[in-house]
Amino acid sequence: MAPGNTERRQAIAIAITGASGAIYATRTVAALLERGVHVELIVSDYGRRLLRDELGEQASIDRFVPFLADKYGAGVHAGTVTIHSNRDLGATVASGSHGCSGMAIVPCSMKTLAAVAHGLSRSLAERAADVMLKEQRRLVIVPRETPMSLPQLKNMVLCAEAGAMILPAMPAFYQLPKTLDDLADFMAGKILAALGFEHELYPPWTGQVGA
């Protein structure tokens, strides 16, 4: 879905890779669309499998936007989406001249983390992340793995030293979540805040649980 004039919209790249946590990705994309953002969506092969395995066939990439509208409401139509092949290193987001103001990899597999840490740029997701770092734009990496090995921890440090924000998929519980969607709201809110967006996806900490 990429109707209308997208060049006037703020553009954010979202990469979905093969770590568990598809619901974090879909809620983040939906929240960005609700704010009128143009989402440059990159989904790896294992990311496509992740969407189907964790959310069902209705969340497959060829039905992705209707799935978001069914789950999160018609507000997602305020934004636009361009879906890129992860193999297309000639896509717009592979260039620093493209006006993409930030990127989140959610969830981020350990393989993708390692590639970003070492600047491999073998796929579009890896190249787009490298562009964010070289252009000194916000790159948010959302790893979902436990426990973590020493190489994985070192790769996170390398990414942080290069300018990325490491935002692990660790939802809080002070907001007294009752559903999985509540946990997804929290993580999506954290990602949006890291990308510079205001939101009301979870209540701010007041110093008192349930206040």
Please state, in angstroms and rounded to a whole number, the distance separating the CA atoms of residues 82 and 11: 10
The structural domains of the chain, with segments of one domain joined by +, span 11-194
More confident residue, 7 or 164: 164
Kindly provide the b/e burial profile for residues 43-70, where b requires at least 16 CB atoms within 10 angstroms of the residue's own CB.
bbebbbebbeeebeeebeeeebbebbbe
Rounded mean pLDDT, 176-203: 96
Tell me the fold of 11-194.
Answer: Rossmann fold (3.40.50)
Averaged pLDDT for residues 52-67:
96
pLDDT of residue 210: 62
Q: What percent of the chain has pLDDT over 90?
A: 91
Mean pLDDT lowest among 8-12, 32-36, 185-189: 8-12
Integer Cα distance of 142 and 109 in angstroms: 9
Closest C-alpha to 189, from 203, 178, 177, 179: 203
Separation between Cα atoms, residue 10 and residue 126, nearest integer Å: 21
pLDDT tens digits for 120-141? 999 999 999 999 999 999 999 9
168, 142 in Cβ contact below 8 A?
yes
**Measured between alpha carbons, how far is 137 from 99 in angstroms, rounded to an integer?**
11
Please determine, for residue 6, whether its predicted confidence score (pLDDT) is greater than 50: no
